[in-house]
Amino acid sequence: MGQLLTFQEYTAGGRPQGGTIPELLMDFVENVSPKDRPALALCRKSRVTNTFIEWLEDVLPSRGYNAFNEGVGETQPDLVTPSRTFTHVQLFARWGQVSDVQRAVMHKGFSDAYLYQEKKAIDSTLNDIEHAIHRGSSATGATNAPRQFGGLLNILTTNFTNACGITLTETVFNDLVQAFQDNSVDIHPTVAFVNSWLVRTISQYSTSVTRNVDAAARVQELVVEQHKSDFGDVYKYYSRDQLKGASRTATGNSIVLADPSYFETGWLQQLMSESLPRTGLRTTFQVSAMCTLIYRTQKAGGGGINFIPYIP
């Protein structure tokens, strides 16, 4: 009786190594990278025609008694003229190249490698714009440096604070909302942009909150969608572009409160994709946009940085 032979057609990891067994590659590409962009969705859009944008802001004098003696002569008060605020238009761009072979061969998960890579570049650029809206730092673009517009965490000052390790309790949250009124701002914040730690923190609050619960479900609902304060309702929006501490007991977390009707994205060029001239046996695409964040007044936003979450 002859010796039985063992045919090893798999590698140590279980992958066929070129024998008679074909591979099975499923016909989809899974990509769960985030594409949530709450600020970009809430801010209205406008058209701009220059890379340097200015607008005017004014204030009323402080409230006073305004009492004069009878028959007094006229006075010459110091008149305050509107002040200018500015921002820069930032240029966003991505490129990609796909060879003719990559476009000609059959792929699993997509039919055209060029269109697939182009769509990824578009989504990535929109993510970058959202990130800049939250964290951008203003830069003029002088001396061969790219222009950048200031994001929420860098333009807010009047109602913004450095918490220096304070825990974001419900009382502290309400203090942040109240700061708008205490700083003589006739604006009520309606949204709160927070990271995943602070999303959970706000859901622990127990006073005057809105929870949507189906009574028939008999479940305990621990999610707060809307916080009701003495100074208006504030809707909670999860933003992965807000600053986040390393743990639920660490500092370094930020929160932005705002009325989004005072903020808009100004577009010098809408997001566009175009094919560039061919160079050899390949096709190149370019995705670009030119936009900025226009804040009619930075007093329409507030919040702070370096908070500690409150998660029992």
Phi, psi of 246 (to 5 degrees): -70, -25
221: pLDDT strictly greater than 60: no
pLDDT tens string 9-67: 667 667 776 667 777 889 999 999 999 999 999 999 999 999 999 999 999 988 889 88
Candidate from 66-75, 215-224, 240-249, 268-277 with smallest mean pLDDT: 215-224
Half-sphere exposure of 60 (CA within 13 A, CB side): 7
Close Cβ partners of 241 (under 8 Å, ≥ 6 residues apart) = 39, 130, 131, 133, 134, 135
151: exposed, middle or buried (Cβ count in 10 Å: 0-12, 13-18, 19+): buried
231: pLDDT strictly greater than 80: yes
Taking the C-alpha atoms of residue 154 and residue 124, their distance in angstroms, rounded to an integer, is 23
pLDDT tens string 145-200: 899 999 999 999 999 999 999 999 999 999 999 999 999 999 999 999 999 999 99
pLDDT tens string 106-159: 999 999 999 999 999 999 999 999 999 999 999 998 878 899 999 999 999 999
User: Contact at 8 Å (CB) between 193 and 38?
Assistant: yes
220: pLDDT strictly greater than 50: no
Question: For residue 226, what are the β-bridge partners?
Answer: 210, 235
What pLDDT shows up at residue 25?
Answer: 86
Cα-based torsion angle of the residue sequence 212, 215, 216, 219 in order, rounded to the nearest 10 degrees:
70
Label the pairing between strands 232-238 and 90-99: unpaired
Name the 3-class secondary structure at 78.
coil
Mean pLDDT of all residues belonging to the chain: 90
For residue 149 the two structure tokens come to: 């517009």
Taking the C-alpha atoms of residue 72 and residue 70, their distance in angstroms, rounded to an integer, is 6
Concatenated DSSP letters for 110-165?
-S-HHHHHHHHHHHHHHHHHHHHHHH---B---TTPPPB---HHHH--TEEEE-SS
Q: Which CATH homologous superfamily contains domain 42-56+84-212+222-307? A: Major capsid protein gp5 (3.30.2400.10)
215 pLDDT band, cuts 50/70/90, is: low
Answering whether pTM is above 0.85, one says yes
222: pLDDT strictly greater than 60: no
Taking the C-alpha atoms of residue 79 and residue 88, their distance in angstroms, rounded to an integer, is 29
What pLDDT shows up at residue 101?
Answer: 96
Close Cβ partners of 155 (under 8 Å, ≥ 6 residues apart) = 138, 293, 295, 298, 301
What pLDDT shows up at residue 150?
Answer: 97
> Which of 78-87, 135-144, 204-213, 268-277: highest mean pLDDT?
268-277
291 pLDDT band, cuts 50/70/90, is: very high
Label the pairing between strands 253-258 and 191-194: antiparallel
What pLDDT shows up at residue 8?
Answer: 64
Number of Cβ within 10 Å of residue 218's Cβ equals 7
Which residue, 250, 292, 37, is CA-closest to 155?
292
Phi, psi of 58 (to 5 degrees): -135, 165
For residue 21 the two structure tokens come to: 């067994």
Taking the C-alpha atoms of residue 111 and residue 117, their distance in angstroms, rounded to an integer, is 11
Question: For residue 295, what are the β-bridge partners?
Answer: 263
Instruction: Tell me the residue type at 39.
Output: A
The better pLDDT of the pair 215, 136 is held by 136
pLDDT tens string 86-109: 999 999 999 999 999 999 999 999
211: pLDDT strictly greater than 50: yes
Q: H or E stretch including 210?
A: strand 209-210
The better pLDDT of the pair 305, 216 is held by 305
**In whole angstroms, how large is the CA radius of gyration of the chain?**
28
